[in-house]
């Protein structure tokens, strides 16, 4: 099982990168977004620049890799006519799916790192992380939470006929609602509950909390618990969606069509 997962990650990373659009999302788009963000935030404090430019543009890169790949990978297999073959192969379908998502998340994370290096070396942005070990552990947890969210999105999109249009639509609204480049607190009060239903909001708040100068464990408690709770919710929703997709395949026989 582990071998199948690792192989899927490897093959999928290669397949994703073969698409020119994915190359743009991973290599070029984060640099454009980071440059726009640094120009906008040029007069703000180094801490604001780290929180809203480095983390913000990094999260945008990560989110784009999720939206334009993980969320649409099943649909892509459906378009190629290979979905049924993957589904009936001896390796469980969810292993293949998780492998694809991990592959995309690794690319998204690399893209985040590239944008980080670009800002540090080209624009001389100062990095202040009081506790690098905690920051690293939180980053790992954030990646895990986003993998779970991608798993749900990928399956939910498989069930929707409008997947492609939705895929093109949910990029900027998530940047906005999840407060990638500004605090969620500036959004209208009725939008904020929606923000906190989405894992990226908690994820970026956790990384901001862990990288503030006056960092203490109490400061990350709220965002850490929030992220754990929403991740659990999306894990349950993901399992429901997986069963629905399975039913569609085995009972309705409509996996390859809508």
Partner 1 sequence: MEATLRFFRHSLLSYRALFGWLNPKVYILVMVLNPLSQLLFFAVLVNYVYDGKGLVGYIGANALILCVMSSVFGIMTIITSDRYMGTLQLVMASPANKIGLFLSRSIAHILNGLFTSMIGLIFGILIFQIKIPIEAILPLLSVWLVSIFSACGLGLIIGCFCLWTPSMNLIANLLASSLLLLSGANYPQSIMPTWLTYVADFIPLTRGVELTKQILNERNYENVVPILGQEFLLGVTFFIISLLFIKYAEYLSRIKGTMDLD
Query: Which parts of this chain interact with partner 1 (CB under 8 A)?
Result: 20-21, 23-24, 28-29, 32, 35-36, 39-42, 44, 162, 165-166, 168-169, 171-173, 175-176, 181-183, 186-187
Task: Please give the structure tokens belonging to residue 251.
Answer: 């009972």
165 or 229: CB nearest partner 1: 165
CB nearer to partner 1: pick between 110 and 166:
166
Whose Cβ is closer to partner 1: residue 44's or residue 126's? Answer: 44
Closest CA to 1 of 89, 74, 92: 92
Instruction: Classify residue 72 by its DSSP letter.
Output: G
CB of 185 to partner 1, least distance (A): 10
> How near is the Cβ of 1 to partner 1 at its closest, in Å?
36
Consecutive H or E run containing 79: helix 73-80
> What is the nearest approach in angstroms of partner 1 to the Cβ of residue 181?
5
8 or 72, CB closer to partner 1?
72
DSSP 8-state secondary structure symbol assigned to residue 162: T
Residues 6+ apart with CB under 8 A from 5: 95, 98, 99, 102
Q: How far is the CB of 26 from partner 1 (least distance, A)?
A: 11
Beta strands, E only, the chain: none
How many C-beta atoms surround the C-beta of residue 251 within 10 A?
Answer: 8
Q: In this complex, which beta carbon is closest to partner 1, that of residue 98 or of residue 205?
A: 205
CB of 178 to partner 1, least distance (A): 11
In angstroms, what CA-CA distances link 35 with 43, 142, 154, 195, 254?
A: 14, 24, 30, 25, 45
């Amino acid at each position: 099982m582990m071998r199948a997962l690792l192989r899927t990650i490897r093959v999928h990373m290669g397949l994703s990168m073969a698409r020119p659009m994915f190359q743009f999302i991973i290599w070029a788009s984060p640099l454009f977004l980071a440059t726009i963000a640094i120009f906008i935030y040029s007069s703000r404090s180094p801490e604001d620049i780290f929180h809203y430019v480095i983390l913000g543009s990094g999260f945008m890169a990560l989110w784009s890799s999720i939206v334009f790949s993980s969320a649409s990978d099943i649909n892509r297999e459906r378009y190629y006519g290979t979905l049924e073959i993957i589904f009936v192969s001896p390796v469980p379908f969810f292993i293949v799916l998780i492998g694809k998502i991990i592959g995309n998340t690794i690319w998204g994370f690399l893209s985040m790192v590239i944008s980080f290096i670009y800002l540090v070396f080209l624009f001389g942005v100062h990095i202040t992380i009081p506790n690098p070990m905690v920051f690293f552990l939180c980053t790992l947890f954030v990646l895990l939470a986003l993998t779970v969210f991608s798993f749900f999105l990928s399956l939910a999109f498989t069930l929707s006929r409008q997947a492609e249009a939705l895929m093109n639509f949910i990029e900027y609204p998530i940047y906005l609602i999840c407060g990638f480049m500004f605090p969620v607190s500036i959004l209208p009060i009725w939008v904020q509950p929606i923000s906190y239903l989405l894992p990226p909001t908690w994820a970026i708040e956790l990384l901001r909390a862990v990288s503030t100068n006056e960092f203490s464990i109490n400061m990350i408690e709220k965002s850490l618990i929030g992220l754990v709770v929403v991740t659990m919710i999306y894990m349950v929703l993901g399992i429901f969606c997986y069963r629905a997709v399975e039913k569609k395949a085995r009972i309705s026989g409509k996996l390859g069509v809508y």
